[in-house]
Chain A
Amino acid sequence: MSRKLFRLIFGTYLSLSAGVGIVSASDSIEFSGTIALEPRWFWDQSLFGSDSRNKGLSNSVFVMPEVDAKLSESTSVRLVGFYRYDETDRDRTRGDVREAYLVHYRPTPLGELEMRVGLGRVFWGATESHHLIDIVNQTDLVENPNEEFKLGQPMFHVTLSTESGIFELFGLPFHRQRTFPGPTGRLGFPFEIDTDGVLYEHDEEERHFDVAFRYSHTFGYLDVGISGFVGTNREPIFVPNFGLDFPLSFSPLYTQISQTSIDLRLQHSGWLLKFEGSRRTGALNRLGIEEDYSAFVGGFEYSYFSLFGTVVDMTLVTEWSFDERRERATTRFDNDLFVASRFSFNDFQGTTVTASVLLGNDNDSAIASLEFSRRVSESVSVALELVLLNQIAADDVLFPLKNDSYLEVGLTYGF
């Protein structure tokens, strides 16, 4: 974490803590959180890297404290901290402020106005397999390769909810770098990433002020969102550091991009249709050449309730993701089919099982996963995640992870 960012985050945290302090005497403040043990077992030796990327068990634990405080009827503060210790990967041992914001809302003649300032998490999108248009927050990739985990983003966020839709404006004064597994961590890269030598296209580097907007509205059973982003890309490209270093290291490079996107959710007689489409300019492709491109992901969700007369519900999800750059695409979602089936057992323990597979249409890659979760008491739950990566083709962007299949057993305590 850079010093500037640390100061920014810590400053926000302190000022919000002061706000919390004011009300801490009252009962409008709530402390809660999560502690989890999450050992992962890798049964294959890594395809790349030294003996330090051994197969076997890798222990890890995280804590995520949360504070929610109401300063007034329409003003509140939320703080979410995060710290993970990882036995084998030093770069996975780290802390983050996931959320630390002040939110205030008030009625106006046009509709309700909401103002949010601090570190926040914003989600844009509709689909399940790939969050194509979700760009406000940086991905915390060292947390999980599924790209579902995000770092807290410093932001000014204004929302106006009117009769004719929700208008949102974002001012993003600081860019956060993507996290990566370290040299001793699994699910990493075949080369060393020089996160201290990160490169920016723009002179203002991480201080570049990014802006984003979003309009969303519900028309009957259709939810529509139109969004735009101008600023520093969240997804880096890697540039080799030709110098005296051996082995060769790579620096992440973040260029200036603009992205416009649309997302749709339509409910129709038991079916839920989902779509995300985007156009991005200014990004570099897999060859390191600037290439403007369009991409989309879309599909459907269908649920069967009370399966075979039992209380079990089953939801089927099928999505197709496509990136017009195809083999020059920087993500695995260049032309892939995602099929998943989720079972909810509706029992006391809230048991769910999800099986999914992502199949490459342009190559023979297949990534399969199986997830299971179940409560063991009112405050403890267990989750298993099995990820199979051994069917990745040699030309796939994820080929370096070919031997990194793993099983994670999570035990989570909520307080």
Chain B
Amino acid sequence: MKKLTGTLFVICSLGMVLAPSVCAESDEEAAAKGLEIAQAAQDAKEGFGNYIAKQVMVLKDRKGRESKRELRVQILELEEQGDRLLFLFDEPRDVRGTALLIHSNENQPDDQWFFLPATNRVTRLNSSGQSKSFMGSEFSYEDMNPPEVSKFTYKYLRDEPCDEFNCTVSERVPVTKGSNYSRQVVWYDDEAYRVWKIEYYDRRGDHLKTLTVNDYEQYLDEYWFAQTMVMTNHVNGKSTTLNWSDFEFQVDLDEDDFTQTSLRRTR
């Protein structure tokens, strides 16, 4: 706690110059406000039911060489439990037919199963693999899974302009074990609570990666989904651009499509 107060002190010292009113707030108020924003952002995203979409990942290394990954994703929202996710790998060819099933859990590590087409085998993935790179990209398994509100503690930091919007900036600290991050700093616009940027700090507290989010489009007259996400790794100089397309909402998907039985049927 002492450490946290120290951090807050540093942030407030900086903040004092820019927005003195912010730092008049106590730790508790900053935490409550942070949670409130995260919850509002979550509420704004909730209710789409389910969707399918295509993802194309372009991996770029320090020298500018590129490599491509293609996958399809299916997501189902559940009322009482965490979301269900299914990733179907199409490219490169050697991983074609591989599928990843994720059952998100609210306060504990997710359940993850892989389907390996060569042997028709379903195998459980180690939950400690959250920090594992997703298909060699700069996104980790943890980054690919939209986080549940209950998986973090929060702290509101400040307001600042971002492009044409006004953004609120808050910090979140993972509470579940196995996260690769000590904290994340998130930029939400105050219009529709869309995420525009996330800074990821590693366990030592160093700035590891930055995610920038762009090209938001509205679906079902209500929900905003980004088409472009760029994850830049500041340590190894690599980056990954994730392009979303072909969104289809409220398709014929239910819990039966996210079981170990359906996983065997994915190809």
Interfacial residues, chain A to chain B (CB-CB below 8 A): 32, 68, 73, 76, 78, 103, 105, 107, 111-112, 114, 120-123, 125, 148, 150, 159, 161, 166, 216, 218, 221, 223, 265, 267, 269-272, 301-303, 305-306, 311, 313, 315, 346-348, 350, 375, 378-379, 381, 412, 414-415
Cα separation A412 to B96 with both chains bound (whole Å): 13
A123 touches B119 (CB 8 A): yes
- Residues in B with CB closer than 8 Å to A125 are 121
From B91, B121, B135, name the one whose CB has the most chain A CB atoms within 10 angstroms. Answer: B121
- Residues in A with CB closer than 8 Å to B256 are 107, 111-112, 161
- Residues in B with CB closer than 8 Å to A166 are 259-261
B136 is contacted by which of A270, A350, A412 (Cβ under 8 Å)?
A350
A305 touches B260 (CB 8 A): no
Interface of A is mostly: strand
Q: How far apart are A165's CB and chain B's nearest CB, in angstroms?
A: 10
B127 is contacted by which of A76, A120, A159, A267 (Cβ under 8 Å)?
A267
B94 touches A270 (CB 8 A): no
Mark B121-152 against chain A: 1 for CB-CB distance below 8 A, else 0: 11110111101110110000000000000000
Closest chain A residue, CB of each to CB of B131: A305
- Residues in A with CB closer than 8 Å to B132 are 303, 305, 313, 346
- Residues in A with CB closer than 8 Å to B260 are 166, 216, 218
B252 at the interface (CB under 8 A from A): yes
Total count of chain B residues near the partner, CB < 8 A: 39
Closest chain B residue, CB of each to CB of A150: B119
A-B residue pairs, 6 tightest by C-beta: A414-B93, A270-B128, A348-B67, A346-B133, A112-B256, A123-B121
A348 is contacted by which of B128, B136, B267 (Cβ under 8 Å)?
B136
Interfacial residues, chain B to chain A (CB-CB below 8 A): 59, 61, 65, 67-68, 91-96, 111, 119-124, 126-129, 131-133, 135-136, 177-178, 180, 236, 252, 256, 259-262, 265, 267
- Residues in A with CB closer than 8 Å to B262 are 112
Q: How far apart are B50's CB and chain A's nearest CB, in angstroms?
A: 15
Cα separation A306 to B141 with both chains bound (whole Å): 13
B267 touches A379 (CB 8 A): no
Cα separation A16 to B40 with both chains bound (whole Å): 52
A348 touches B261 (CB 8 A): no
A414 touches B96 (CB 8 A): yes
A412 is contacted by which of B94, B123, B236 (Cβ under 8 Å)?
B94
Closest chain B residue, CB of each to CB of A414: B93
A269 touches B177 (CB 8 A): yes
Cα separation A269 to B178 with both chains bound (whole Å): 8
- Residues in A with CB closer than 8 Å to B259 are 112, 161, 166
- Residues in B with CB closer than 8 Å to A379 are 92-93
A311 touches B61 (CB 8 A): no
Cα separation A287 to B203 with both chains bound (whole Å): 59
